[in-house]
Amino acid sequence: MKSVPYGLDELKGRAEKVTLSSSDWLDQKIPLVLYGAGNFGCHIFEVLQSRNRPVAALIDGKLAQPATFQGGVPVYPLDHPQTAEHARNGCVVLLTVFNHLADWSKIVSDLRGRGFSQIVTPMELFDEMPEIEAARYWIAPPAFYLENWPAFLEGADLWDDEASREIYRRILWFRLGRDLIAHPTPQPDCQYAPRDLPRWREPIRFLDGGACIGEALKTLLAEGLQIEHYYGWEPDLANFEKLESYLQQECPQLSATLFPCGLGSKTASLSFTSGLGAASAIMEGGCDKTVVLSADHALRNQRVTLAKLDVEGAEIEALLGMRSLIERDRPGLAVCVYHKPDDIIRIPALIKSWNLSYRLYLRTHCWNTFDTVLYALP
């Protein structure tokens, strides 16, 4: 019998070993170097400072010349001779790049090529440093996946093509098995209109949940899809103004309705953190407030043929708030499933539970399983 690539039977045992393994990089005697001097690197540096854990240097792959970081700590380009010197001194590298553009496996390969032998991934950072407050998105300790293992096993059977099932298995190997090479190959240029799936039926009446500045609309138009009407929902007012400007300047003839608020299961006023661009989100303790509406109430007499949701972890609430619309119109669905560690099983299971005969597909469009999208075709 032919073996399945990245099968799940052996993954559980591997994950249990990860859970039991102990890390020595927090030992005060081991010198640390951080790779990445962006926002996440700054945050990890501050957490280490609060633990009185010194950092010998930072490395930045985009840097051309040496620079200075907080407290006078040096920052070196990857190819600088001092970088190799830190490797010879036995420094452990903490990988402090956590975004959708960084290919961790390539960074690790580059670091090993400079002589570093021990490299700690962001997943391991979160395991060992629970006080980290940066957005975790899909990251969770191995124990979370193991406690919910039956549901993750069932999740492998939710998809309607082998490509989706392999992507699902690879994502679990990447997240839980800590196998960076397992990461699915991203499809960056066709998010929300993947070319290997059937084309959305036209003309499209497009509900864009989490519109930001109109990136999804730009993709659909670039793919030559005909948009009959656009419903844009964006609670961050800075993003909303850019969305308005884009429509006025680039799509003056497009029929559009814009909502400066979020999508939810019902009308409510919620805490919100704004000013983070695409990462602005509803969250407890947010410094702002936003209103959320259900699409069922806002669009009760409006037909929708495609609904996209990238609402920073509120996808299930948004889906619950448009169930009547979905049952009525059977729109295509493009729903992000990477904001929370169990979105990848809970969201497809919810859609399946409605018994509306949707076919479910999974595609990943960026690195580190960011922009992983469930496509539900009626």
* Residue 187: C-alpha distances to residues 66, 140, 192, 193 (Å): 34, 25, 10, 10
Q: Same domain, yes or no, for 131 and 244?
A: no
Q: Same domain, yes or no, for 129 and 232?
A: no
Q: Same domain, yes or no, for 373 and 324?
A: yes
Give a yes or no: residue 175 inside a domain: yes
Q: Same domain, yes or no, for 165 and 129?
A: no
Give a yes or no: residue 229 inside a domain: yes
- Number of independent structural domains in the chain: 2
Q: Same domain, yes or no, for 197 and 85?
A: no
Domain that holds residue 218: 154-377
Q: Same domain, yes or no, for 339 and 373?
A: yes
Q: Same domain, yes or no, for 216 and 240?
A: yes
Task: Pull the structure tokens for residue 104.
Answer: 């961790």
Q: Same domain, yes or no, for 317 and 357?
A: yes
Could you list the pLDDT tens digit for every one of the 378 residues in the chain? 345 679 998 898 888 876 555 567 877 778 999 999 998 999 999 999 998 899 999 999 999 999 999 889 999 999 999 999 999 999 999 999 999 999 999 999 999 999 999 999 999 998 888 888 666 789 998 889 999 999 999 999 999 999 999 999 999 999 999 999 999 999 999 999 999 999 999 999 999 999 999 999 999 999 999 999 999 999 989 999 999 999 999 999 999 999 999 999 988 765 655 445 445 444 555 566 778 899 999 999 999 999 999 998 999 999 999 999 999 999 999 999 999 999 999 999 999 999 999 999 999 999 999 999 999 999
Q: Same domain, yes or no, for 98 and 191?
A: no
Q: Same domain, yes or no, for 159 and 141?
A: no
Give Cα 215 distance to the centre of its chain: 16
Residue 60 gets the label, from left (phi > 0), alpha (psi -120 to 50) or beta, of: beta
Q: Same domain, yes or no, for 169 and 117?
A: no
Helical H segments across 210-314, by residue range:
215-222, 237-250, 295-298
Q: Same domain, yes or no, for 311 and 274?
A: yes
The closest of 228, 208, 229 to 219, measured between CA atoms, is 208
The closest of 129, 126, 122, 100 to 279, measured between CA atoms, is 100
Residue 295 is predicted with a pLDDT of: 97
